[in-house]
Amino acid sequence: MAKDTKERILAAALDLFSQNGYAGTNIRELTASLGLVKSSMYKHFASKEEIWNSLLDEMIAYYDERFGSPEHLPPAPDSLEGLVTMTMRMVDFTIHDENVIKTRKLLTIEQFRDERARALATKHFLTGIKDMFTSIFQSMMGKGLLRQDDPAMLAFAYTAPISSLIHLCDREPSKTHEATIQIEAFSRHFVKVYGAPDHP
């Protein structure tokens, strides 16, 4: 029961922090949204700051388990079509999973206030995804699927446009379908340009 209450508090915190930011959310609003009194919440978390840090911990684990990270790499594709398929699976998860969408909005808001949010925003929006694809591309080069090139530069060239289009989906949800089509077209263009000649 206590675990369920903690999870409910963190879920409500994610909702409110992603809408109003950390400073714009107070404990009274948070507990009221759950039908709790403040004293009940303090049985589980000592402060709003503890809720914040617990929430970030939970979302890091959630993202790593379902999407991957430089520390938890997904298997490298065995074909160029496999790269497109893997990319689109990752994109679908990223732009449709409600927890990930809220976390991305939360980090976008809070990166200017909180050092930990800033580091996580840099990792999830830039360096982490680039590092993950650097390893994936290195493996694909080793399998003879991609032309020999600097895998880190290829990873940067591949992930930056996709990340930009994902952020567009956050700002303008009506463009999600169009952005998804663009991402798949870009992925197919990438494998056409950088795929090894004998691997269709």
Of 37-51, 59-73, 120-134, the poorest mean pLDDT is in 59-73
Taking only the tens place, the pLDDT of each residue in 9-35 is 889 989 999 988 888 888 888 888 888
For residue 174, give every residue at least 6 positions away whose Cβ sits within 8 Å of its Cβ, in sequence order, or none: none
Percentage of the chain with pLDDT > 90?
53
Return the SS3 of 69. Answer: strand
What was the pLDDT predicted at 199? 60
* More reliable by pLDDT, 160 or 1: 160
What was the pLDDT predicted at 85? 96
Find residue 146's DSSP bridge partners: 195
Whether the predicted pLDDT of 2 surpasses 60:
no
Domain 1-51 has CATH 3.30.1130.10: no
Whether the predicted pLDDT of 59 surpasses 60:
yes
For residue 56, give every residue at least 6 positions away whose Cβ sits within 8 Å of its Cβ, in sequence order, or none: 116, 117, 120
CA 131 – CA 60 distance, rounded (Å): 16
* Residue ranges in 48-175 assigned as alpha helix (H): 48-66, 80-96, 98-110, 115-122, 128-142, 151-171
CA 153 – CA 170 distance, rounded (Å): 26
What was the pLDDT predicted at 73? 78
To 10 degrees, the CA torsion angle through 64, 70, 73, 79? 130
Domain ranges (residues) in the chain: 1-51, 67-194
pLDDT-based confidence at residue 194 (cuts at 50, 70, 90): very high
Taking only the tens place, the pLDDT of each residue in 134-167 is 999 999 999 999 999 999 999 999 999 999 999 9
What was the pLDDT predicted at 34? 84
